[in-house]
Amino acid sequence: MMKTLLVRGMLAGLIAGVLAFGFAYAFGEPSVNAAIGLEEAGGHAHSHDASAPPSEEEELVPRDIQSTLGLLAGVLVYGVAIGGLLSLAFAFAQGRLGSLRPRLTALLLTAGAFTVVFLVPFLKYPANPPAVGRPGTIGARTELYFGFVAVSLLAGIFATVFGRKLADRLGAWNGFLLAAAGYLAVIGVVAWLMPVVDEVPATFPASTLWSFRTASVGTQVTLWLALGLAFGAFAEKALGRRTTVTA
């Protein structure tokens, strides 16, 4: 059964990746192209130093490939990986969250993972278009972002484990509220302690930045929602068939 769930999770991730690619291409690429156009026109320099000469970097992959095949490949790999991890989490959680149907368990897991893996880190370190940010700080910004994702994920796991134990003593609703409060307290302190990163220049168009960030959120919502719905349907069918055979 574990192998069956894993395959179906990866298949659900593949489906979700295709849908997320469609959303990202339709709504995200225009703002990316606008930001790159500003950079090429000299409206914004990575270095933020007017005296520094513009750097000419050789483009290893043409822009039309980046926005089509490159984007598709990246989203599909991400979707398949997330789908596989979701199936493993589902195999562990099914039956431990009460007498929930597999479809509902999958949706709850997906919503929780979306919150702790993407939404909360995004609120601290929101995505920026490619023309925003200094090249010299890419490594530091990447480390800060993934470090915050790791803290959020660990805090979410501990909150889930302790919330389940609290639910046995205090009831499901009280256990959920206390676990959520604990998660928010931990992540709030960590977010306050971690440095703020704001490299968006005052001259950068707010509309372009807003369009890019809303498209980033929309792409993630599309991927995670499609993943939860598809995997929930697959898992319920697989487990229902297993119950029928066993009976």
Is 186 in contact with 150 (CB distance < 8 Å)? no
Whether the pLDDT of residue 239 is over 60: the answer is yes
| Type and span of the H or E element at 172 | helix 172-193
d(CA 94, CA 8): 15
Q: Is the pTM of this model over 0.75?
A: yes
d(CA 181, CA 14): 34
User: 91 CB contacts (<8 Å, ≥6 apart)?
Assistant: 1, 2, 5
Tokens of 64: 């039309």
Whether the pLDDT of residue 98 is over 70: the answer is no
Q: What is the number of other CB atoms lying within 10 angstroms of the CB of residue 171?
A: 11
d(CA 44, CA 52): 12
Whether the pLDDT of residue 122 is over 70: the answer is yes
Is 85 in contact with 153 (CB distance < 8 Å)? no
Kindly indicate the confidence band of residue 57, based on its pLDDT and cuts at 50, 70 and 90: low
pLDDT digits (tens, 9 = 90+) for 10-21: 999 999 999 999
Whether the pLDDT of residue 127 is over 60: the answer is yes
% residues pLDDT > 90 (the chain): 53
Give mean pLDDT, residues 46-58.
Answer: 47
Whole-Å CA distances, 201 to 46, 55, 127, 132, 212 = 10, 18, 15, 8, 15
d(CA 70, CA 76): 10
Query: How remote is the C-alpha of 128 from its chain's centroid?
Result: 15
User: 114 CB contacts (<8 Å, ≥6 apart)?
Assistant: 220, 221, 224
How confident is the prediction for the chain on average, in pLDDT?
85
pLDDT digits (tens, 9 = 90+) for 143-176: 999 999 999 999 999 998 888 888 878 887 888 8
Tokens of 188: 């709030």
Give mean pLDDT, residues 110-124.
Answer: 96
d(CA 102, CA 9): 13
Whole-Å CA distances, 181 to 73, 160, 162, 164, 247 = 38, 12, 12, 14, 42
User: 176 CB contacts (<8 Å, ≥6 apart)?
Assistant: 163, 167
